[in-house]
């Protein structure tokens, strides 16, 4: 465990600690993937150990499943759960309307399935993830390997009809090889700069043959918990437009997954 956390890690830990307060015994909880979500999973493990919290978790990646089991969370599949009370996950970007870009860690498909199979989705993030317009973070698009370059060309052609700042695309790599998702698919990252209409783009990307899913999460998030390094936590609710600011303790657990997206 590092003795001195970075300010970003402190902010992530604070957001995760606050978000876990919304979890109650008996819940079926979707467990996100990424550096911020790792804080959340470890905090849930602490509550299970120290408070006797009784939950089951549905992880959104193999990495999260391994961590959940390590900290004492009982893991089940989404088919076993059928429906979830709550999903808590991170985000790579979010805007004022709580639209998100996710998939920096490569788990966007499972993350979107789990989030949409939940009564509520809570997003945890540090304040730096808030943007006026989505798109500075590359938008991940998961595609099947067959004809991936053709699919990539079709996506680039599609972008010409949308209000975006850039149209460059890249195949995500892992060392010298293309990155593979848990499903064995590839990811095309779209370097758009700014997305004028996230809802429309999300719908149209999924019409391209070969595209499995994209990292735009529109009308899915119910609440965002924003952590700050000084201990402040801001909670925004999309339904009643409320904003709550409070303070929480900085988490004491080391950060794993620090090298992947939220």
pLDDT of residue 242: 66
pTM comes to: 0.91
Cα-based torsion angle of the residue sequence 155, 159, 162, 165 in order, rounded to the nearest 10 degrees: 140
User: Angle 7-19/35-51 helices, nearest 10 degrees?
Assistant: 50
Q: pLDDT band for position 248 (50/70/90)?
A: low
Average pLDDT over residues 100-128: 97
Quote the CA–CA distance of 46 and 71 in Å, as a whole number.
8
Supply 103's token pair. 């998939």
Catalytic-residue membership of 252: no
pLDDT of residue 254: 47
Quote the CA–CA distance of 88 and 90 in Å, as a whole number.
7
pLDDT of residue 76: 98
Q: Please say if the pLDDT value at position 216 is more than 50.
A: yes
Q: pLDDT band for position 252 (50/70/90)?
A: very low
Interval 122-138: pLDDT, tens: 999 999 999 999 999 99
Quote the CA–CA distance of 165 and 163 in Å, as a whole number.
7
130: nearest Cα among 215, 38, 224: 224
Binding site per annotation, positions for substrate: 33-36, 89-92, 102-105, 129
Interval 142-173: pLDDT, tens: 999 999 999 999 999 999 999 999 999 999 99
Q: pLDDT band for position 240 (50/70/90)?
A: confident
Average pLDDT over residues 239-250: 70
Q: Are strands 84-89 and 118-126 parallel, antiparallel or unpaired?
A: parallel
Which of 24, 70, 93, 111 is labelled catalytic?
A: 111
Q: Please say if the pLDDT value at position 257 is more than 50.
A: no
Identify the structural domains of the chain with CATH numbers, from first to last.
7-131+219-247 (3.40.50.1360), 139-214 (3.30.70.260)
pLDDT of residue 239: 86
pLDDT of residue 250: 52
Residue 29 in 3-state DSSP?
A: strand
Binding site per annotation, positions: 33-36, 89-92, 102-105, 129
Q: Where are the alpha helices (DSSP H) in the chain?
A: 7-19, 35-51, 62-70, 78-81, 108-116, 148-159, 198-205
Quote the CA–CA distance of 198 and 217 in Å, as a whole number.
9
| 122 close to 87: Cβ distance less than 8 angstroms | yes
- Residue 193 has what DSSP assignment? S
Quote the CA–CA distance of 152 and 207 in Å, as a whole number.
13
Exposure of 239 in the CB half-sphere (CA atoms within 13 A):
7
pLDDT of residue 3: 53
- Residue 250 has what DSSP assignment? P
| 127 close to 94: Cβ distance less than 8 angstroms | no
Return mean pLDDT, the chain. 93
pLDDT of residue 259: 45
pLDDT of residue 253: 45
Q: Please say if the pLDDT value at position 22 is more than 60.
A: yes
Q: pLDDT band for position 243 (50/70/90)?
A: confident
- Residue 179 has what DSSP assignment? -
Q: pLDDT band for position 261 (50/70/90)?
A: low
Quote the CA–CA distance of 242 and 234 in Å, as a whole number.
10
Q: Please say if the pLDDT value at position 1 is more than 90.
A: no
Quote the CA–CA distance of 170 and 173 in Å, as a whole number.
9
pLDDT of residue 131: 98
Average pLDDT over residues 107-117: 98
Interval 178-189: pLDDT, tens: 999 999 999 999
Could you write out the DSSP letters of every residue in 74-87?
Answer: EE--HHHH-SEEEE
- Residue 164 has what DSSP assignment? B
């Amino acid at each position: 465990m590092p003795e001195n956390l970075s300010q970003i890690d402190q902010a992530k830990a604070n957001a995760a600690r606050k978000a876990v307060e919304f979890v109650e015994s008996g819940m079926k909880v979707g467990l996100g993937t990424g550096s911020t979500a790792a804080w959340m999973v470890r905090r849930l493990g602490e509550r299970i150990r120290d408070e006797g919290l009784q939950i089951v978790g549905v992880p959104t990646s193999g990495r999260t499943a391994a961590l959940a089991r390590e900290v004492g969370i009982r893991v089940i599949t989404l088919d076993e759960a059928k429906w979830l009370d709550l999903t808590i996950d991170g985000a790579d970007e979010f805007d004022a309307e709580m639209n998100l870009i996710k998939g920096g860690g490569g788990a966007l498909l499972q993350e979107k399935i789990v989030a949409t199979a939940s009564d509520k989705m809570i997003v945890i993030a540090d304040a730096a993830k808030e943007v006026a317009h989505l798109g500075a973070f590359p938008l991940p698009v998961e595609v099947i390997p067959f004809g991936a370059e053709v699919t990539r060309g079709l996506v680039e052609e599609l972008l010409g009809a949308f209000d975006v700042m850039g149209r460059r695309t890249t195949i995500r790599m892992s060392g010298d090889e293309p990155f593979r998702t848990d499903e064995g698919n590839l990811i095309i990252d779209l370097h758009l700069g700014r997305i004028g209409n996230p809802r429309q783009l999300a719908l149209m990307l999924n019409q391209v043959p070969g595209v499995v899913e994209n990292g735009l999460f529109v009308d899915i998030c119910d609440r965002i918990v924003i952590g700050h390094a000084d201990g402040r936590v801001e909670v925004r609710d999309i339904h009643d437009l409320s904003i709550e600011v409070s303070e929480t303790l900085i988490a004491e657990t080391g950060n794993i997954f620090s090298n992947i997206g939220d």
